[in-house]
Amino acid sequence: MEIKIKGLTKLYHSEGKIIKALDDVNLTIGDNTIFTLLGPSGCGKTTLLRSIVGLENPDIGEISIGDEIVWSKEKNIFIPPEKRGLGMVFQTYAIWPHMNVFDNVGYPLQNQGMPKDEIKQRVAETLKLVQLEGFEHRPATKLSGGQQQRVALARALVAKPKVILFDEPLSNLDAKLREETRKELRTFLTGLGITAIYVTHDRIEALALSDIIAVMRAGKIVEMGSPKKIYFNSDHPFVADFIGRSNLIEGVITQCSNRHATLKTAIGDIIGLNTHHLTVGENAIMCIRPEFIKLTHTNNTKEKNIFKGVMQNLVFIGEAYEGDIKINDTLLTTTIEPTEDIHEGSEIFISFSMEHCFLVKS
Ligand code: ATP
C-alpha cells in the first residue's frame, strides 16, 4: 500500500514558543517497502509517524494511504486511527502484563467483535508467523524481552493491516538480541510483502533493515535513498556524517574530469567522485569513510591520494584498531586491520581509492 504525504507541517506551542516539529514534509512511501525515518533526537520522526497513524493532528497538508485520503486540513478530512488499517509496534511493546499471550494478541479482534472461533484461528496463525506457536497460555510477564517484542508484533499484525508502523521497537533489547531481531524482522517483513514504516535514531538498524531511508533534520526530510546510496554517496555533509563515521575535509575544487574532481585541502590535493557535478572554484567537502583509509607501503606522497601522517589515539577493539591519523593539523579517523604492527606515534603512509571518497557541496 502506497503512502503519500503532501506539505505536512505540525507546530507545537509550548511555554510561549512555537516548535516546528514538521516543516513542509513531502514524500511517497512505495508499496511493499521497508521505509525508515532516521534522524537525531527531536527531528520530528515520531511526530510524522503519529500523524500517519492519526494520533497527531498536523496544521497543514495531506496524508493518503492507498487511494484514500486519511487526513487533509484543506478538505477537512480526518479518518480516525482505528479505521486507517494500520498496525503499530511501540518502543515499550505496550503488551498487557495481566493478560496471557492469546489475550494480548487477540485483543484487537475482540475489540472488532469477531466471533471467538475465528479469533482463535487468527491468533494461532499469527503466533506461528512470529514463531511463538504454542505460547497462547503463557502469562505475558513470563516471556523474554525478545518474545514480548514478538507478541507486540503479532498483535500489530493480527488484524491484517495494510501498513505496519514501528517506533524504535528494538531499543529496549540488549545489543546482541537487537542485532538478531533486526535480521529476523527484515526477513519477516520482506516475506510478508507489507509496507512498513520504521522510526529509529540508530543508523546501523536503519542500514540493516531498510529498502529506503529518509534522513530528517529539524522537521524536514534532508535526503532519501537506498541504504547504499545514502552511505556511499549522500548529497549532504549532514547525512554523510549522520549515517556513519566520516572524515569530512573542506577545500576548493581545482580540477574536474568526467567522474572525478580534485579538491585542494589543508592536507593536500584529494581526488574523489564528483557525482554532484560540482565545478572548478566551488567550495566542497570530501567525505572519506574510516574503513576506506588503508595503510600503504608506498611512500611517494606525490602519487594520488597518498599521505604521510602520525598515528594517534589508537585503541584495539578486537575486530580492528581504531585511531586517528594526524596529517599537518588535520585528524583523519580510521579503522586498521588488527594484525597490523602499529603503535601510537608510528609514522605511516595512507592511501584511499578515488572511487571510495565523494564530494558534497559545502
Ligand atoms: P526522539 O528520537 O527523541 O524520539 P523525534 O525525532 O521522534 O525525537 P519528535 O518527538 O517528533 O522527535 O519531536 C519533534 C519536536 O517537537 C521536538 O522538538 C519535540 O521537543 C517537540 N514536541 C514533540 N511533542 C511535543 C508536544 N506534545 N508539545 C510540545 N513539543 C513537542
Q: Cell for 45?
A: 520522526
**Overall residue count recorded for the chain in this entry:** 362
Can you tell me which atom of ligand 1 is nearest the CA of 49? 11
- Return the ligand 1 atom nearest residue 37 CA: 6
Cβ–Cβ under 8 Å, residues 16 and 25: no
User: What would the grid cell of residue 357 be?
Assistant: 571518497
What is the pLDDT at residue 93? 62
Query: Going by CA atoms, what residue is nearest to atom 19 of ligand 1?
Result: 42
Query: Separation of 47 CA from ligand 1 center, angstroms?
Result: 7
> To which H or E segment does residue 206 belong?
helix 203-209
Confidence at residue 180, expressed as pLDDT on a 0 to 100 scale: 81
Best residue for ligand 1 mutational test, from 46, 165, 217 (most atoms within 8 Å of Cβ) = 46
Q: Could you tell me whether strands 17-29 and 321-327 are parallel, antiparallel, or unpaired per DSSP bridges?
A: unpaired
Nearest to 287 by CA among 220, 232, 228, 213: 232
Q: Is residue 309 classed exposed, middle or buried when 0-12, 13-18 and 19+ CB atoms within 10 A define those classes?
A: buried
- List, edge to edge, every strand of the sheet that includes 347-351: 294-295, 347-351, 306-316, 321-327, 330-336
Cβ of 39 below 6 Å from ligand 1: yes
Report the distance separating Cα 86 and Cα 103, nearest Å. 20
58 lines ligand 1 (CB under 6 A): no
- In the chain, what are the domains? 3-237 (3.40.50.300), 245-361 (2.40.50.100)
Residue 101 burial (C-beta neighbours within 10 Å; 0-12, 13-18, 19+)? buried
For residues 350 and 327, give the distance between their C-alpha atoms in angstroms, rounded to a whole number. Answer: 10
Indicate the average pLDDT of the chain. 91
The whole-angstrom separation of Cα 230 and Cα 233 is 6
**Tens of each residue's pLDDT in the chain, 362 residues:** 899 999 999 999 988 899 999 999 999 999 999 999 999 999 999 999 999 999 999 999 999 999 999 999 999 999 999 889 898 887 766 778 788 999 999 988 988 889 999 999 999 988 988 888 889 999 888 888 778 888 888 888 888 888 999 998 887 777 887 888 788 888 888 888 889 999 998 999 999 999 999 999 999 999 999 999 999 889 998 999 899 888 999 999 999 998 999 999 999 999 999 999 999 999 999 999 999 999 987 777 778 899 999 999 999 999 899 999 999 999 999 999 888 888 999 999 999 999 999 999 98
- β-pairing, 3-14 with 17-29? antiparallel
Cα–Cα distance, 56 to 28 (Å, whole number): 19
H or E element at residue 180: helix 175-192
Name the strands in the sheet holding 34-38, side by side, starting at the edge strand that comes first in the sequence: 86-89, 163-167, 195-200, 34-38, 212-217, 220-225
User: According to the model, what pLDDT value does residue 176 have?
Assistant: 80
- Please name which of 353, 323, 326, 357 lies closest in space to residue 340, comparing C-alpha atoms: 323
* pLDDT tens per residue across span 36-57: 999 999 999 999 999 999 999 9
Q: How far apart are CA 335 and CA 315, in angstroms?
A: 10
pLDDT digits (tens, 9 = 90+) for 89-147: 877 667 787 889 999 999 889 888 899 999 999 999 889 888 888 899 998 888 887 78
